[in-house]
Amino acid sequence: SQKIEQNSEALNIQEGKTATLTCNYTNYSPAYLQWYRQDPGRGPVFLLLIRENEKEKRKERLKVTFDTTLKQSLFHITASQPADSATYLCALAGGYQKVTFGTGTKLQVIP
Amino acid sequence: NAGVTQTPKFQVLKTGQSMTLQCAQDMNHNSMYWYRQDPGMGLRLIYYSASEGTTDKGEVPNGYNVSRLNKREFSLRLESAAPSQTSVYFCASSRMTPGQGGNEQFFGPGTRLTVL
């Protein structure tokens, strides 16, 4: 069955460092991959989308890579700030399939 | 421009009671979705509506019904609530239909439902 894995352990990093979150998937051939941010008590907010034929996408301090051979996406936040603390969800979709979400990784940026 | 709105924000039900969760979007989006989010399980799709007049089952549809009232509104009904339906429910909308490239979803604030 299709499976999306995100590190369930919280990621703690020092302010100013680069945070790297991982999304791995199996039994899936997604056409595109999305990353969302979710703050406590709120709905997810879309951040970035990357297509299967793209290796990398950037938006301000955010960078996403997509390796369809490794079946993995990496999400980077450079010069991290305490305001970046949140749970980050990856989501995949392919063909006419609906978007499937991972369980998310909680990021804590320590001042 | 309110985006996606959901009512109510909180609800407590007794087992066997029924209720309807309301969702509306003002972005003229074609597709709308209902998810539930449980600890350790992530977001799971209950039902979706690719366009006005159509609805389809998602991953966990049992115990739920939906109505796409018009392009703006998509409601979720629990006919006979069970404790297993205790969860946070999110409504979302997207401009394109499921599976189309760039199907960015916009989420509402959620409804926190407890079934006793």
A-interface mutation test, from B27, B41, B97, B105, most A Cβ less than 10 A away: B105
- Per DSSP, the three-state class of B83 is helix
- A32 neighbourhood in chain B, CB within 8 Å: 101-103
Q: Is A12 on the interface with B (CB under 8 A)?
A: no
pLDDT digits (tens, 9 = 90+) for A21-61: 999 998 877 878 899 999 999 999 999 999 888 989 999 99
> Which is more confident, A98 or B10?
B10
How crowded is the C-beta side of A81, counted as CA atoms within 13 Å?
A: 3
What average pLDDT does the structure give for chain A? 91
